[in-house]
Amino acid sequence: MTEYTEIHRPQFHFTSKRKWINDPNGLVYFNGVWHLFFQHNIEANTWGPMWWGHAVSSDLLHWEQKDHALHPDKMGSMFSGSAVVDHNNTSGLGENAIILFYTAANRDDSEASYTQCMAYSLDNGVSWEKYANNPVVKTMVGEDRDPRVVWHAKTQQWIMALYLTEDKFCLLRSQDAKSWEKFQDIQLTSDCECPDFFSLSDNNGNEKWIFSGANGTYTVGSFDGELFTEESSNNLFEYGRNGYASQTWSNTDNDRRIQISWMAGGRYPEMPFNQQLSFPLELTLKNINGKPIIHRWPIDEIRSLYLKTINMAECEVSKGKSFIPKTSAKLFDISFIVDKASSKSLYLMIRGHYLSFDWENNEFSMQSSGEHKIVEDRKTIGLPKGKEISVRLLVDKTSIEIFIDNGLLSGSFCFLPDGYINPIVFLSYSGTQYIRNFTLHELKTIWSD
């Protein structure tokens, strides 16, 4: 295989063969296949007219890019959306039809319109047909977009979460996936675009519903098919500089809730592709001091990529005494526990980039190297207080994803490697601290034959 071997090509994160990608779309699992659609400009390495790219996988790791599923038409460019399996043929399109819901964005004239449309497949996602009577939802506000559709089993109806304008969203419902009625407005302060709406049981077995936006803001509540009732204040599941437009797969086995995001703003100079998606994460909902909090954790399937493993029970990091794991790998999954002891800070240099754990101010930050900021620049993560914290890092060619205290806090960061001798170095400039239960797994590429 000659593709996917370029110097800045991510090796265990999804990228397209060529050209620009952004939001993940239409995430659905059916008949043993994970479908991943994505915003794709097939004409250039920059944002522009949008197609829906399409890739499939049997394990959420190894992806095969297929023909484009949706092409721009007279109604507009193909903006973001979602996918479902119509098991009960409520739409009349056919038994087990896979239905894509997308925004047709007409921006070319003074009568610009954004409408919500459908396309469907009757051959397990091999070919796609746009619904003849599109749109199914006409323009409501002006640039309303990004339909996220789910099946509400208790009331036997389809529910659509839709972005409207500013920080305003709404819910619509339908019996047949074709005729839609708006029934609730929702405000998600300081967020916009790309809603996700899904159920998740907490650690006490109670079903909750989560409503989220593109920046990773979410609220937890209950939903009876008639009203989404918020039961928590807004929170964040994405604290990184580059995580944006997350979506979760529908129709999954064993009620797994798997999420993937666009890692917005990464740089890939002189590459035939542009932008990457995050590593797939499994979501859980846990009550922390009476508050429901989403935890995110890399899917267990990553274990199949493990090569050489390095373990160390404990080591000291202090001024003049660094810890340098014996590896030359560029791809790795590392985890460890930090005993802060008397130190004021811990620094990790990963492939020439500093990651800072500031214990005095309880903040994590990653050195910025001038990446173009498409999303709000959240440079720091507020760290949990206490003597110890656990850390996990996924490191690819051009990205680092961090998970703190078993996924209580997490974030996505893009970078370009700088000069270095050792790919990982633990440093301290004041006091002493201890690294416990250190494990490093070198990873193999997902693009091998």
How far is Cα of residue 222 from the mean position of the Cα atoms in its chain? 23
The CA-atom distances, in angstroms, between 111 and each of 25, 48, 75, 406 are 26, 19, 12, 49
Beta bridge partners of 257: none
- As a dihedral over the C-alpha atoms of residue 312, residue 313, residue 319, residue 320, rounded to 10 degrees, the angle is -40
| Residue 168 near residue 158, CB atoms below 8 Å | no
Q: How many angstroms separate the CA atoms of 244 and 2, rounded? A: 30
Rg (CA), the chain: 22
Q: How many other C-beta atoms are found inside a 10 Å radius of the C-beta of residue 374?
A: 16
Q: How many angstroms separate the CA atoms of 308 and 302, rounded? A: 14
DSSP structural state of residue 423: S
Start-end of H helices in 90-155: none
Q: Tell me if the bond preceding 298 is cis, omega within 30° of 0.
A: no
Element (H, E) at 151: strand 145-152
Q: Which residue in the list 23, 86, 144, 333 is annotated as catalytic?
A: 23
| Residue 50 near residue 63, CB atoms below 8 Å | no
**What b/e sequence results for 58-83 when a residue is b if at least 16 CB atoms lie within 10 Å of its CB, and e otherwise?**
eebbbbebeeebbebeebbbbbbbbb
Six-digit token string for 150: 């789910």
| Residue 276 near residue 15, CB atoms below 8 Å | yes
Q: How many other C-beta atoms are found inside a 10 Å radius of the C-beta of residue 293?
A: 20
* Side-chain-side CA neighbours of residue 178 (13 Å): 12
Structure-token match 């794991």, residue found:
325
How far is Cα of residue 43 from the mean position of the Cα atoms in its chain? 25
Burial of 409 (0-12, 13-18, 19+ CB in 10 A): buried
Start-end of H helices in 309-348: none
Q: How long, in residues, is the chain? A: 449
Six-digit token string for 29: 């699992």
Closest C-alpha among 166, 170, 175 to residue 92? 175
Indicate if 86 belongs to the active site: no
Which residues have a catalytic role annotated?
Answer: 23
